[in-house]
Amino acid sequence: MQELPHSAILNRQESSELAVKHFAKQSALLADLANYGSNLVIRAYDSSPKKMAEIVVCGVLLKQVVAMVDATQVLLEAGASHAAFLPARAAWEASVYLDWILFSNSERKATCYIVGNFRDERFWIARVTPGTTEQAAFAAISKSIGVDVHANHPNLSDDAATHLIEVNRVLAQPDLIAIDLEFDRLRGRRKRDPEWYELEGVKSIRQIAEQVGRLAEYEAFYSKGSQVTHSGTYKDHVRFANGQVRFKPIRHLESINLLLNFIVCVAVGTYKHVLQNYRPGELPAFQRKYIEDWREPFQNVQPLKYEF
């Protein structure tokens, strides 16, 4: 028998109705931003040199921003602004990586990103390859939760060996092998690989944000997204009043202003930066699009006041 929600803290219908009643224009704004971005991914890549930098900037990071704008719109429409800070945070992170790659040494940074991805694949291959230290550690973890991956997937070892040949073939290419070896040198005695951006001398996303002039956004927006992601504050979930503990609803539209400032600024700023690099002739039309279609719903958000 399917469970019914506790209506005091999970009322899906009420949350959706409030979102439609009060924020239909803002939901339409996010949908249009995602639509615009989906077309920009293709237009920008088609106008680019189509090298490694553009594969990562357009095909991965810009596309990730668009996907997270779309996800934010879905959650806003459902009346779940708290959960929507997670895709907004992911959009901001992709946006900062995008800015940083375009900032300097674009081809090298993008190649570090791709090599880092292939090295992650190689690490996971090692986890299911008998005789490796990674497999021994992973087997202990699997055993502790009662999972035998090889019993469930009898061809796993053979498939992993085949995939490893392909990964090593890719990483042996002249434009990738030097960076692969650079990862090895930087890793040294660490148990895990360094992050891909560490090959350029930065240690954190905060340093990346500082380099591209977005430190204020890191402090104001990204920190809020991280707080939600990591359950960093009880105030998102409970209130103390009159000697009682009161649980806030799971779905609500509190902090809607901050959320919309967060995701819209990320999307508009990212799209503008991509246009500047790959389709500068579209910038006047983009400015008109913002003024005619996006500015009014963005700047006129009426916050809801809850009595939790």
Q: Which tens digit of pLDDT belongs to each residue from 122-135?
A: 988 888 888 788 77
Question: Cα–Cα distance between 230 and 186 in angstroms, integer?
Answer: 29
The enclosing H or E element of 238 equals strand 238-241
Question: pLDDT at position 91, please?
Answer: 98
Q: Which pLDDT does position 308 carry in this prediction?
A: 61
Distance of alpha carbon 61 from alpha carbon 228, whole angstroms: 22
Size of the chain, expressed as the number of residues it contains:
308
Of the candidate ranges 7-11, 66-70, 107-111, 240-244, the one whose mean pLDDT is the lowest: 240-244
C-alpha 143/C-alpha 146 separation (Å) is 5
Q: Rounded distance, CA 287 to CA 157, Å?
A: 54
pLDDT in tens, 32-76: 999 999 999 999 999 999 999 999 999 999 999 999 999 999 999
- Band of pLDDT at residue 160, cut at 50, 70 and 90: confident
**Position 143, amino acid:** K
Least confident of 81-95, 239-253, 269-283: 239-253
Task: Evaluate if residue 288 carries a pLDDT over 80.
Answer: yes
Cα maximum dimension of the chain: 68
Helix H segments across the chain?
12-46, 52-56, 63-77, 81-103, 106-127, 133-144, 149-152, 156-171, 174-187, 205-211, 215-217, 223-229, 256-278, 283-289, 295-299
